[in-house]
Amino acid sequence: MSCRGDALYDLATLTLGHEEHLGDVIAGYGADVDLDVIRAWWSLRSLLGVRWLIEHGFDPSAPGCEVDVLRSRM
């Protein structure tokens, strides 16, 4: 699995919430990319974000927020 500072983590961060652009970004990246790792980062980031949003008074289930990203992964 990749970690912060890794190219796959960066690609996952760049495309979070915009899966429709993932193919274009990967094509421009020009390397063998494990899509499962990128999708795992999306899910982890969203799960961690839910807690932070709740603790800071935000609604993670608002349209387009973390819960939507998690639902799209199902």
Task: Tell whether pTM > 0.75.
Answer: no
Residue 72: pLDDT over 60: yes
Each residue's pLDDT tens digit, 20-42: 999 898 888 877 888 898 888 88
Note the pLDDT of residue 2: 56
pLDDT of residue 66: 82
Q: Which residue has the higher pLDDT, 61 or 1?
A: 61
pLDDT band at 4 (very low <50, low <70, confident <90, very high): low
Closest among 51, 48, 43 to 68, alpha carbons compared: 43
